[in-house]
């Protein structure tokens, strides 16, 4: 059991985002995902030994709060809604909260970080190789999808060259944004530990992926590290080393920019994507960035007053609005599904997690908030992956964030 806690559980938590889209079998609309089996088996073995569950109460109470909000929402009748969907989703959420709580109560934090570091470095190097091969005309390079595993019908695997002809490599992940979501906490950790060489490799991978989430995340991580650098109790030598890496990287980037046309296109494309985000938000048209961040928020103003406060229910807004595409960020989805009260619950959850962290470690919560603002990853494996990073750097004195349930 001790070996399970030390080695297997941290690895499962680290590899989860990569294996999440794969399934073992399916029965109609029901699928058995590979990660479901891993998590259930690990949690079951831990329960046999520990016979208690230390539940993350902040996550559990927030979920219960969402359920209460849904009950309030359904007090006002409206067609095209199904309360059974709410019950199913809440049940799945609670089960996963319990399962992940079991894993979090025993996992070796340093082992998780070590495994994640190795996966991130391998994934970054492979992404760079993909980019080089495609630029040299070797189009048969492996796209990162595991060939002997079946992909869920609810997931897809992005092409490495998009419809516009732009190379968008994504290593072992489904799409470029998932590369960035996985790597950003690792980059933040590398900064914390002074592992600037590894961070440069991963930063290059994020830039080559051309993910707008990645570019915004890099700006956040680097800016936060620089701002907090004077307050961090780290050797002056490491601070100087960081500044040298920054200067060297900028000079190298400038040289490559003017020397390589391919790199110049990538940099211009990334800059253009970030600038388009602000342009899309100002324009009336629904550009890709505006859809990603604001999504269907314009429909919120059509809600009756009751629904503005309590929303229309879990996973209900697409059907309530007449079949709109359910593509919005986590924040916007919260507003549409759970109303203003739901948004207050979400913001409260942000602050609870922020309070658990101190100093530079707050960056892991800020990354989590950024993900919620630009992507829909609520209760996906990337959600639990990011929470695991936050759990790994909580105050040691933080005892009131769990509730122990003993099994008899």
Distance in angstroms (rounded) separating the CA atoms of residues 397 and 180? 31
Write down the pLDDT at residue 368: 97
| Same domain flag for 303 and 363 | yes
Report if pTM > 0.95.
Answer: no
Q: Within a domain: residue 28?
A: no
pLDDT confidence tier of residue 333, bands split at 50, 70 and 90:
very high
| Same domain flag for 139 and 214 | yes
Q: From residue 292, how far is each of 183, 201, 320, 325 by CA, in Å?
A: 20, 27, 20, 12
Cα of 208 vs its chain's centroid, Å: 19
Write down the pLDDT at residue 183: 98
Last residue of a domain, one of 232, 252, 278: 278
| Same domain flag for 321 and 201 | no
Q: Which two tokens stand for residue 359?
A: 């100093």
Q: Within a domain: residue 6?
A: no
| Same domain flag for 316 and 183 | no
Q: Within a domain: residue 41?
A: no
| Same domain flag for 324 and 399 | yes
| Same domain flag for 268 and 322 | no
How many helical (H) and strand (E) elements, i.e. helices and strands, does the chain have? 17, 5
> Could you list the residue range(s) of the whole structural domain that residue 389 is in?
51-106+295-406
pLDDT digit string, tens, across residues 41-64: 999 888 888 777 788 888 989 999
Q: Are 205 and 179 in contact (CB under 8 A)?
A: yes
Count: domains in the chain: 2
| Same domain flag for 244 and 180 | yes
Q: Which residues contact 213 (CB under 8 A, 6 or more apart)?
A: 177, 180, 181, 370, 371, 374, 375
Higher-confidence residue: 307 or 50? 307
| Same domain flag for 126 and 197 | yes
Q: Within a domain: residue 4?
A: no
| Same domain flag for 351 and 339 | yes
| Same domain flag for 65 and 167 | no
Mean pLDDT over the full length of the chain: 86
| Same domain flag for 124 and 157 | yes
pLDDT confidence tier of residue 408, bands split at 50, 70 and 90:
very low
Q: Within a domain: residue 40?
A: no
Distance in angstroms (rounded) separating the CA atoms of residues 294 and 78? 25
Rounded to a whole number of angstroms, the CA Rg of the chain reads 22
Q: Are 403 and 57 in contact (CB under 8 A)?
A: yes
Q: Within a domain: residue 245?
A: yes
| Same domain flag for 180 and 261 | yes
CA angle 117, 180, 186 (to 5 degrees): 25
Distance in angstroms (rounded) separating the CA atoms of residues 364 and 341? 25
Write down the pLDDT at residue 249: 78
Q: Are 252 and 194 in contact (CB under 8 A)?
A: no
């Amino acid at each position: 059991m001790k070996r399970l806690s030390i080695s297997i559980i941290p690895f499962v938590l680290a590899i989860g985002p990569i294996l999440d889209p794969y399934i073992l079998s399916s029965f109609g609309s029901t699928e058995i995902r590979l990660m479901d089996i891993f998590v259930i088996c690990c949690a079951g073995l831990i329960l046999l030994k520990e016979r208690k569950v230390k539940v993350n109460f902040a996550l559990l109470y927030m979920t219960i709060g969402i359920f209460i909000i849904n009950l309030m929402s359904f007090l006002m009748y409206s067609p095209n809604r199904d309360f059974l969907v709410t019950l199913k989703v809440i049940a799945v959420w609670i089960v996963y909260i319990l399962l992940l709580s079991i894993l979090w109560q025993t996992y070796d934090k340093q082992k998780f970080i070590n495994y994640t570091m190795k996966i991130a470095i391998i994934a970054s190097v492979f992404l760079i190789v993909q980019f080089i091969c495609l630029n040299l005309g070797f189009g048969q390079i492996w796209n990162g999808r595991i060939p002997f595993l079946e992909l869920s019908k609810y997931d897809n695997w992005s092409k490495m060259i998009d419809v516009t002809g732009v190379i968008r490599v994504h290593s072992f992940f489904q799409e470029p944004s998932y590369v960035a979501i996985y790597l950003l906490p690792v980059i933040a950790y590398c900064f914390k530990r002074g592992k600037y060489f590894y961070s440069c490799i991963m930063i290059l991978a994020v830039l080559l992926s051309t993910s707008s989430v990645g570019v915004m995340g890099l700006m956040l991580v680097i800016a936060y590290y620089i701002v907090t650098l004077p307050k961090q109790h780290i050797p002056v030598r490491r601070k100087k080393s960081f500044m040298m890496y920054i200067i060297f990287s900028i000079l190298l980037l400038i040289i490559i920019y003017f020397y390589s046309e391919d790199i110049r296109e990538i940099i211009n494309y990334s800059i253009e994507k970030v600038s388009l985000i602000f342009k899309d938000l100002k324009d009336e048209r629904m550009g890709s960035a505006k859809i990603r961040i604001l999504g269907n928020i314009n429909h919120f103003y059509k809600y009756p007053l009751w629904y503005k406060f309590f929303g229309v229910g879990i996973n209900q807004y697409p059907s309530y609005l007449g079949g709109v595409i359910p593509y919005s960020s986590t924040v916007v989805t919260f507003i549409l599904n759970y109303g203003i009260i739901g948004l207050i619950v979400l913001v409260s959850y942000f602050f609870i997690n922020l309070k658990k962290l101190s100093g530079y470690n707050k960056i892991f919560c800020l990354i989590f908030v950024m993900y919620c603002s630009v992507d829909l990853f609520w209760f996906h494996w990337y959600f639990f992956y990011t929470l695991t990073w936050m759990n790994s750097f909580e105050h040691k004195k933080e005892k009131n964030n769990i509730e122990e349930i003993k099994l008899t």
